[in-house]
Amino acid sequence: MFGDDTWLRLFPDIFTETDGTSSFFVTDTVEVDANVTRHVRPELERGGWDVTIFHYLGLDHIGHLAGPDSSLMKPKQEEMDHVVQTVHEIVTKQDAQRQIEDPNAKPTLFVLLGDHAMNEIGNHGGNSHLETSTVFVFMGQGIHGQPIADQGKNALSALLTREVPQINLVPTLALLFGVPIPKNNLGLPLADLIRGYPDEERLWLLQLAAHQIYGVVQANDGDTSDIDIDASSKTPLHCDKEQDAASQSLRCEYMQALSAHRRFVDSESAKAAEMAAVAESEYYRFMEHANAHLSRTFSGYDLKAMATGIALFGVVVLLLVGLYQSYSSGGSGGGIISYKTKEIKVSLPSILLLVTYLISVQSSSLIEEEHQFWYHWVQTMLLLRMITSKSFSVGLRSFAQMCLFRVVRAWNQTGQKWTGETDIRYRLNNSHTRLMWILVVVSFAFFGICAGWVHKSA
The answer to whether residue 338 scores a pLDDT higher than 80 is no
Range of lowest pLDDT (144-153, 221-230, 415-424, 438-447)? 144-153
pLDDT of res. 337: 47
170, 153 in Cβ contact below 8 A? no
395, 389 in Cβ contact below 8 A? yes
Query: Of 406 and 238, which is predicted with more confidence?
Result: 406
**Pairwise CA distance, residues 256 & 235, whole Å:** 9
For the segment 237-263, the average pLDDT, to the nearest whole number, is: 79
Tens of pLDDT along 169-181? 899 999 988 899 9
456, containing H or E segment: helix 433-457
pLDDT of res. 82: 95
pLDDT of res. 102: 92
Name every residue whose Cβ is closer than 8 Å to that of residue 379 and which is 6 or more positions away in sequence.
402, 405, 406
pLDDT of res. 335: 47
For the segment 28-32, the average pLDDT, to the nearest whole number, is: 88
pLDDT of res. 315: 83
Range of lowest pLDDT (18-22, 56-60, 119-123)? 119-123
CA 13 to mean position of chain CA atoms = 32
pLDDT of res. 234: 56
355, 364 in Cβ contact below 8 A? no
286, 250 in Cβ contact below 8 A? yes
pLDDT of res. 34: 93
Express as a percent the part of the chain with pLDDT over 70. Answer: 82
For the segment 6-19, the average pLDDT, to the nearest whole number, is: 90
| Residue 53: C-alpha distances to residues 71, 230, 232 (Å) | 28, 44, 46
Give 112's strand partners: 137
pLDDT of res. 211: 92
Express as a percent the part of the chain with pLDDT over 90. Answer: 23
In the three-class reduction of DSSP (H, G, I as helix; E, B as strand; rest coil), residue 188 is classed as: coil
For the segment 310-331, the average pLDDT, to the nearest whole number, is: 69
344, containing H or E segment: strand 344-346
> Dihedral through CA 107, CA 109, CA 110, CA 112, nearest 10?
170
The answer to whether residue 331 scores a pLDDT higher than 60 is no
**Pairwise CA distance, residues 38 & 140, whole Å:** 24
pLDDT of res. 417: 66
123, 117 in Cβ contact below 8 A? no
What confidence tier does 226 reach under pLDDT thresholds 50, 70, 90? confident
Tens of pLDDT along 265-299? 888 777 888 999 999 999 999 999 999 888 887 76
pLDDT of res. 241: 61
